[in-house]
Amino acid sequence: MSNIDTKSIVSQLMAIERRPQDLLKNKVAGLQQAQTAWGAIGDKLTALKTAAEALAPTGSATKLVSATSDDSTTVGVRATGAVTGSTSVAVEVDHIATAHSVVMTDTFTGSTASAGGRGLDVTIGGTLHSFTSDDGSIGGLARAVNAAGLGVSARVLQTGTGTYQLALSANKTGAASAFTVGATGWAGSTVARTGADAQFSIDGVTLTRASNTVSDVIDGIEITLKGKTSGQVTVSAARDDDGVVAKVKSLVDAANSVLSAVSAQTASSTNAASRGTLAGDNTARQTSDMVRNFVAKGITSADGSVVPSSKLGISLTKEGTLSFDETALRSTLTTDPQTVFNALGRGGSSSIDGVKVTNVSAAAVDGPRTVTVTAAATQANMVGVPSPPPPAGATVALTVVTPTGSYSVSFTAGSSYAETAAHLTAALRGLGVKASAGTTQTGGIDDGFKIVADKYGAGHLFSVSGAGAATLGLTNPATDGTDAQATITTNGVSHSYTASGQSLVKEGVALTFDLTPDQLAAAGGSVTSTVKVTGGLAGGLSAIGGQGSSTGLVASAKDSLTTRISDLQSRISKWDDMLSKRQTTLEARFTNMQMVLNKLQSALSSSGISSLATG
């Protein structure tokens, strides 16, 4: 019998047939390695964007601030805005603000127990509100109170084993939270806690506030009153230069990581082991060129000036990486801090004083825009012309109701309109009322009083009542404030907006319109400003880091590779079908050949020939 190694022959022939497909598979593997390489670059770009965004706020009004309290158990502190230089104040807390609370005397077996026909008359802010249970149970009575939205919450508390009582408490702290309860069918009630304003002092000046969170005393600082102090607590705040330096260093390190990753992936070499996966890929090199070019040309501030990167302690080395000189940055922070902040983070400038840029977010596009203010914001106010004015030394008492609460105000009249207004302002401030008093004039002579809300815009309307209001000649209603209006034109496209008071946040830019109706009238009814916006160092590098996002250069490159891989895999699949058929054909042919040879061998053997000679 002839024994031909059919399997081995077919295998060798198929290896030859498979070479074009193997070349396609090698291309796919190479493209997949390129995708991985792009992913590594994308990770570094994302890290660059994160580091840049940590630095970006330094260009806004909310600069990096370090705030501390030497006894955070009684006085907490948080930075909320810009701090000029260093601030240190002594805080003493006499007592914190509390919310009024009342417990009804009667006891029940649970919240579903019958109220027994009991009702509640709750008086708050001088207004009586009557309640009955919605289902006859004591829990239903609590629900009825809560559904009214009075600022008073009711709940059934377990005060002993199998014993429950109805408790009511104000949702807010402060004396204005106090309420009274008329008990129909009840044995009585007990005031568990009296609503009181916080009383504290700042550098020896005694103040009261309805809330324990106070943000209107120290510029850029919010303090939280937590308990009575045993002495003075020092609250300090300062610009955090160490934080600025650390964030700039982190940003430079992140930028160098991008440069290093691109360099490794695009390295050219005749030695395959040293050659980068993306060698010859100009698109990959663009990412590092973006970083180097951005730093080399200097950083453009919102005022149009260009700050050399070296003033920020950043420079390019001959190797094409970035170096960071901490000493140089600290030197500029000392001699010209505003230039540093303008160049480091996002910022903006205005060509007129009446339009201010207070913040720039990542959504803002660099470049100029025209802002035209067509209406100025005003404050809610009330004017009174008494006849005659209150005599010096007289006690004046009135009630002021604002959107935040009702306040009982008492003060001593002065010897002049101005002195009386000053006393009223001090009384309002002491209670935390966000309003001030002043005088009105006729012919340059004071002849009346004016109370003005602190905040600009509509919705801050207030009212006054009581004998003191008549004494000052104040009669309701007050005149509500109005909101500023402006038109913003960017790249020839204009949109009109209504601000919230003096403030407007649009197109990623926060603006404040510090203009009066008289100033607008004198200017012909409108004032126009050119507002320039820049991303600074942080914004520019953040944009470059954004190339690693799902819509950036990295995603585009990976998508292109995915398309090419898909096309090649489709071709490989077609080769699979063709090669399978080819192998089947070859195996059939060689099987037939083997059968023919076997038959011939058999015929020869029958004729006395021992074997079939080959070759």
pLDDT of residue 62 exceeding 50, the answer is no
Number of domains in the chain: 6
To which residue do tokens 């914190």 refer?
96
228 shares its domain with 135 = no
The pLDDT tens digits of the residues spanning 151-185 come to 898 889 888 888 999 999 998 899 988 999 987 78
Of 174, 193, 212, which residue is a domain's last?
193
**What's the mean per-residue pLDDT of the chain?**
88
Whether 217 is in a domain gets the answer: yes
pLDDT at 53 over 60: yes
Domain co-membership, 405 together with 461: yes
Both tokens assigned to 56:
């970006």
E runs forming strands in 385-434: 395-402, 405-412
3-class DSSP state for residue 218?
strand
Please tell me whether residues 338 and 251 are part of one structural domain. Answer: yes
Same domain assignment for residues 119 and 183: yes
- Note whether residue 223 is domain-resident: yes
Domain range holding 410?
A: 379-471
pLDDT band at 590, cuts 50/70/90? Answer: confident
Model confidence pLDDT, tens digit, residues 138-147: 999 999 888 8
- Are residue 85 and residue 216 in the same domain, yes or no? yes
Does residue 400 belong to any structural domain of this protein?
A: yes
Query: What is d(CA 117, CA 330) in angstroms, rounded to the nearest whole number?
Result: 74
> For residues 507 and 509, what is the distance between their CA atoms, to the nearest angstrom?
6
Query: Is residue 495 in a domain?
Result: yes
Percent share of the chain, pLDDT over 70:
96
Most confident of 115-129, 368-382, 426-440: 368-382
Task: Judge whether 150 and 129 are in contact, CB under 8 Å.
Answer: yes
Q: With respect to residue 69, please indicate whether it lies within any of the assigned structural domains.
A: yes
DSSP states of 146-159: HHTTSSEEEEEEEE
Same-domain status, 175 and 262? no
355 within domain boundaries: yes
In this structure, the answer to whether residues 13 and 31 fall within a common structural domain is: yes
302 and 323 inside one domain = yes
- Report the number of secondary-structure helices (H) and strands (E) in the chain: 12, 33
Asked if residue 71 and residue 136 are part of one domain, the reply reads no
Q: Are residue 92 and residue 204 in the same domain, yes or no?
A: yes
| Residue 262, in any domain of the structure | yes
Task: Tell me what pLDDT residue 81 has.
Answer: 61
Q: Would the pLDDT of 84 be above 70?
A: no
> Do 437 and 423 belong to one domain?
yes
Q: What's the pLDDT score for residue 64?
A: 63
341, 254: one domain: yes
Say how far apart CA 577 and CA 584 lie, in whole Å.
11
Give the global pTM.
0.60
pLDDT in tens, 278-335: 988 898 999 999 999 999 999 988 777 899 999 999 999 999 999 999 999 999 888 8
Is 526 among the domain residues? yes
Domain stop point among 193, 227, 255: 193
Distance CA 372, CA 367 (A): 17
Q: For residue 370, which amino acid is it?
A: T
Give the number of other CB atoms < 10 A from CB of residue 384.
19
The 10s digit of each residue's pLDDT in 217-230 is 887 788 999 999 99
Q: What is the arrangement of strands in the sheet containing 355-360, beginning at the earlier edge strand?
A: 355-360, 509-513, 503-506
Q: How confident is the model at residue 612 (pLDDT cuts 50, 70, 90)?
A: low
